[in-house]
Amino acid sequence: MKDSVVESWVSINIGPVRTIERQQRWRPAWFVTADRDGQEIRLYVRGDREGFGFATVSAEATVLRVMKAHGIAVPHIYGEIPEASAVVMDWLPGEPNPCSADEAEQVHAVMDDYVDALVRAHDIDPAAFAAAGLEIPTGPDAVALGYFETFVTRYREFKQRPEPLLEFAIGWLRRHVPTHRSTPSFVLGDTGQFMYADRRITGLIDVELAHIGDVSHDLAGLRLRNVTEPMGDLGRLLRTYEDRSGEPLDRAAIEFHTAKFALCTPLGVAIVLHLDLPLPDIVQYIEWFHLLSLHTIESIARQADVALSTVSLPDPVPTPYPGAIAGLPSMIESLDVPTGIAEYQRQSVATVARLSHRASTYAHAIDAADLDDLEELLGARPADRAVGDQALERFVLTAGPAQDAALIVLLHRRVMRQLLLIEPMLTGGRIGHVTPLSGLLG
């Protein structure tokens, strides 16, 4: 249905459509070529997150227009398609990841160009974004956590079950705001997203999380994105930003915002898991939920100087009919489907089947290991996982700072077990960790 709406809008407002292809990804988007006065125009139509995001593509388009007016390389916006909750913009040429380049020198050239754009974006007067509805925070607490609190509010509106790690991290961040940082600046919100060609970026993309806050948020975002989308020598990139912005790197603030920004992801996608939505892409949401929860608690551990223990997957507890569950992914992958988005959906469902097999093999053992940890903390063993999660969240909400170290260690062990469970389905097939700043900057 949306395909025809998009094609109709482009035909009426730009020119006859030559090709239209649904992008194979978790959010609705289309690649379109159209004819305008005999010339081919390449377009990208970006849709909303189908109910899971609170930043609309319409608001994002307004931000992009402001950035373009200030000389930042971004896609040109042609217009909006209300019926499809989508925005039509330029299809930028090039590739999305500089580390696909063969030579380190080329990666450095691309990332240097990106840093220049990032510095220029940070220099835009926050007042320029009033039309985009970006509020300007006042004071250290608001600069650090103002935008973050919108994630907390939305999470609480849909929360259906205990989330001890999220609740602990929310409280910890509120108690450890960098009080020496109170200058509000425009930040991209989700850094490291751009297209490049010929050793230069062709434009910044995906600024739906843009807001007014602390520039350290964007530097923290580079650390987080680098886990799954490497950008070369990240230490060099941060030092280049320091040189070209003229502002010394505030390591403590970057680490704080690493934990804060990481926490925004599980807070944002919790609705998908709490409402048990039957999405083909559910494993991707589960990955984001647990991996960014891990990055949150590991960053908090670094700030609190808490040593974390090594965690391993417990021995499996087999369930009846394991062969049937183990064979389900290959059965799904053998199904004949049309080329295009249906192939992506088939693979997504096969990945769900792989998760089901892993869960049937390890979930009971993981529950038992988590309950063992809770018994040591609480002094009594909860009856089952649901009771244990409730008891742990109550403990988190009433515990004082003296309990932080014990909770950090325990919460880290719990999230690591969940990631070990799904590790074969993770991006890159492994659990990625944020490189400590000491390892990047010395």
Asked which of 90, 109, 128 is the last residue of a domain, the reply is 90
Do 136 and 166 belong to one domain? yes
Distance CA 391, CA 386 (A): 9
Are 79 and 186 in the same domain? Answer: no
**Same domain for 110 and 77:** no
Residue 110 and residue 63 in one domain: no
Q: From residue 377, give the alpha-carbon distance in Å to each of 161, 167, 302, 347.
A: 21, 17, 22, 41
Among 30, 63, 90, residue at a domain's last position = 90
Mean pLDDT score of the chain, rounded to an integer?
94
Domain contains 266: yes
Task: Indicate if 86 and 108 belong to the same structural domain.
Answer: no
The most confident of the ranges 21-35, 54-68, 222-236 is 222-236
Residue 41 falls inside a structural domain: yes
Q: Half-sphere exposure of residue 285, counting CA atoms within 13 Å on the CB side?
A: 22
- With residues binned 3-state (H G I as helix, E B as strand, rest as coil), the percentages for the chain, rounded to 5, are 60, 10, 30
Single residue among 41, 59, 90 that ends a domain in this structure: 90
In CATH, what number is assigned to the domain containing residue 59?
3.30.200.20
In a domain, 331, yes or no: no
Question: Do 196 and 284 fall within a single domain?
Answer: yes
Q: β-strand 77-81 against 86-90: which pairing, if any?
A: antiparallel
The number of domains in the chain is 2
- Residue 261: inside a domain: yes
With 60 as the cut, is the pLDDT of residue 1 above it?
Answer: no
Contacts of 33 (CB under 8 A, 6+ apart): 17, 18, 19, 20, 40, 41, 42, 43
Query: pLDDT exceeding 90 applies to what percent of the chain?
Result: 82
- Give residue 276's pLDDT: 83
**Domain check: are 12 and 106 in the same one?**
no
Query: Do 82 and 104 share a domain, yes or no?
Result: no
pLDDT value of residue 340: 80
* 35, pLDDT greater than 70: yes
Residue 121 in domain: yes
The string of DSSP codes covering 72-124 is ---PPEEEEEGGGTEEEEE---SBS-GGGSS-HHHHHHHHHHHHHHHHHHHTS
Residue 54 has pLDDT above 80, yes or no: no
Is residue 340 domain-resident? no
Whole-angstrom Cα Rg for the chain: 23
Band of residue 325 on the pLDDT scale cut at 50, 70, 90: confident
Say if residue 188 is in the same domain as residue 256: yes
Mean pLDDT across 323-343: 87
Same domain, 208 and 279: yes
Helices (H), 379-429: 385-398, 404-422
Same domain as 106, residue 56: no
Q: Is the pLDDT of residue 353 over 80?
A: yes
Per the domain annotation, does 12 fall within a domain? yes
Domain span at residue 19 reads 2-90
348 lies in a domain? no
Q: What is the pLDDT of residues 380-420, one digit of tens each?
A: 999 999 999 999 999 999 999 999 999 999 999 999 999 99
